[in-house]
Amino acid sequence: MMDQVRIGAFIAERRKAKGWTQSQLAEKLEITDKAVSKWETGRSMPDLSLFMPLCTLLEVTLNELFAGECIAAETLRAKADEVLMDVITNWLGRDPQESTACDPASQTVLDVENVSKLYETASAGHGTEDNAVLAVNNVSFQIAHGSLVAIMGASGSGKTTLLQLIATIDKPTSGAIRISGQNIVDIPDEAAAEFRRSHLGFVFQEYNLLETLTLYENIALPLTMKSVPKENIRPMVQRISEKLDISAILDKYPYEVSGGQRQRCACARAIVADPDIILADEPTGALDSHAARQLLDTLSMLCREYGATILMVTHDVMAASYCDRILFMKDGEIKAALDREQKNKQTFFADILKKIEWIEGESHAVLEIVNP
């Protein structure tokens, strides 16, 4: 069993060894002093997204953190996996037997081929020097129909840029992006909005919904814009709303409901017009862990039951552990990919942590804590 008190004492010991007060550690992690004090007395555990930054600051490995002690290199491997699995199972709970709806003959929905994006000039307010940024560097990957795929990477690694290229919001400097076979790189600006309406769905971290419309009107919007006959719209909105457990609040405005409910509404709106692919940038970023889990369950349900294809940017390991496949970005490149295959969430979570440790170990970069 995971021993919170022991882990807390270990955090305190390593913090003191660094010569930091609780407030100093809290400040570095952009959290409250109270949170650090709670960890150290064993009353709570760090949030999942804080594991990597905390380990980096305290100069311990994840396995050492979970074991609550420094582990000699020789015994690390043997002990590590055992401790890690125990902790992860504690956190995520055990999976019910999940059906992995993996169709081997599934077709490719998104095909990204040798895509690069060079920002020629620095954005306003920054230096006057000619500092071009290769935000996306020769990236290639494919996404199969019905899969839930995550892009992970530190802040500034190019995740949002890549998503915007796929969203036809920005154009790549070179390369091809095909959605259901159509190369979207050639689409003229005027046609891009129409393409987005009929082929794409979006879920962002915040500002997803139009505040002056009710939830019902927000969800109906893509259908209205697609000129779906009026009498068909209500049953379509109602069906998806029931599925996402928001049917009782459809007459409310976004500011009247919780963050989790708003995000589920955003999911309903993203799926209702049956897009080729749903693009999500940090969809769980502003949610507490309960609402985040609920949203992730919703996203994977959309894939399993509605055949949705979802590409999600996240820096949260828990969010990534719900996915079928993870692409790890660093300095504009995809450095590694990880497939869930038949593994359960817990094993996959452990694999992801190890991969991040391996990738970040090369530079000791701290994983993104807060999305800017």
Which stretches of the chain bind Mg ion, using CB under 5 A? Answer: 160
DSSP assigned state of 55 = H
For ligand ADP, which stretch binds (CB under 6 A), given 27-35, 56-64, 108-116, 154-162? 154-162
- Nearer CB in complex with ligand ADP: 146/332: 332
Query: Which residue(s) pair with 281 in the sheet?
Result: 313
Q: Which x/- pattern, by CB under 6 A, does the window 93-132 give for ligand ADP? A: --------------------------x---x---------
Question: Quick one: which of 53, 158, 201, 283 contacts ligand ADP (CB under 6 A)?
Answer: 158
Residue 330 binds to ligand ADP (criterion: CB under 6 A) = no
In the complex, residue closest to Mg ion by CB:
160
Examine residue 263 and tell whether it contacts ligand ADP (CB under 6 A): no
In the complex with ligand ADP, the residue whose CB is nearer, 2 or 169, is: 169
220 near 237, Cβ under 8 Å?
yes
Pull the structure tokens for residue 189.
Answer: 């600006």
- Judged by beta carbon, residue 159 or residue 293, the one nearer ligand ADP is 159
- Asked if 49 interacts with ligand ADP (CB under 6 A), we say no
The owner of tokens 């999976």 is: 95
Output the smallest distance, CB 164 to Mg ion, in A: 9
344 binds, among ligand ADP, Mg ion, none (CB under 5 to 8 A by kind): none
Contact 245, 294 (CB under 8 A): no
Q: Which is nearer to ligand ADP, 132 or 248 (CB)?
A: 132
Q: Is the alpha carbon torsion for 100, 103, 104, 110 positive or negative?
A: negative
Contacts of 208 (CB under 8 A, 6+ apart): 202, 262, 263, 265, 266, 269
37 lies in the site for ligand ADP, by CB under 6 A: no
Q: Which of residues 159-178 bind ligand ADP (CB under 6 A)?
A: 159-161
- Tell me the three state secondary structure of residue 232: helix
Amino acid, single-letter form, for residue 264: R
283 binds ligand ADP (CB under 6 A): no
364: left (phi over 0), alpha (psi -120 to 50) or beta: left
Q: Which does 157 bind (CB under 5 to 8 A by kind): ligand ADP, Mg ion, none?
A: ligand ADP
Which of Mg ion, ligand ADP, none is residue 123 near (CB under 5 to 8 Å by kind)?
Answer: ligand ADP
# binding residues, ligand ADP (CB under 6 A):
12
Four-CA torsion 344, 345, 348, 354, nearest 10 degrees: -140
**Partner touching 180 among Mg ion, ligand ADP, none, CB below 5 to 8 Å by kind:** none
**In the complex, least distance from residue 119 CB atom to ligand ADP, rounded to whole angstroms:** 3
Q: Minimal distance in Å, beta carbon 154 to ligand ADP?
A: 7
Rounded to the nearest 5 percent, the helix, strand and coil shares of the chain are: 45, 15, 35
Distances (CA, A) of 293 to 163, 210, 311, 319, 324: 23, 24, 17, 8, 16
262 touches ligand ADP by CB under 6 A: no
175 touches which of Mg ion, ligand ADP, none (CB within 5 to 8 A by kind)? none
Q: According to the binding rule CB under 6 A, does residue 133 interact with ligand ADP?
A: yes
The set of residues, in sequence order, having a beta carbon less than 8 Å from that of 354 and lying 6+ positions away, is none
Q: Which of 217, 369, 323, 202 is nearest to 270 (CA)?
A: 202
Binding ligand ADP (rule: CB under 6 A), the pick from 155, 180, 238, 289 is 155
- Choose between 105 and 124: whose C-beta lies nearer to ligand ADP: 124
Stretch touching ligand ADP by CB under 6 A, among 31-39, 53-61, 150-158, 215-223: 150-158
285 contact choice in ligand ADP, Mg ion, none (CB below 5 to 8 Å, kind-dependent) = none
Please write down the long-range contacts of 348-351, taking CB distance under 8 Å and 24 or more positions apart.
Answer: 348/321, 349/88, 349/92, 349/317, 349/318, 349/321, 350/81, 350/84, 350/85, 350/88
Determine the Cα–Cα distance for residues 341 and 273; give it in Å rounded to an integer. Answer: 29
From the CA atom positions of the chain, what is the Rg in Å? 22
Give me the residues that bind ligand ADP (CB under 6 A), please. Answer: 119, 123, 133, 135, 153, 155-161
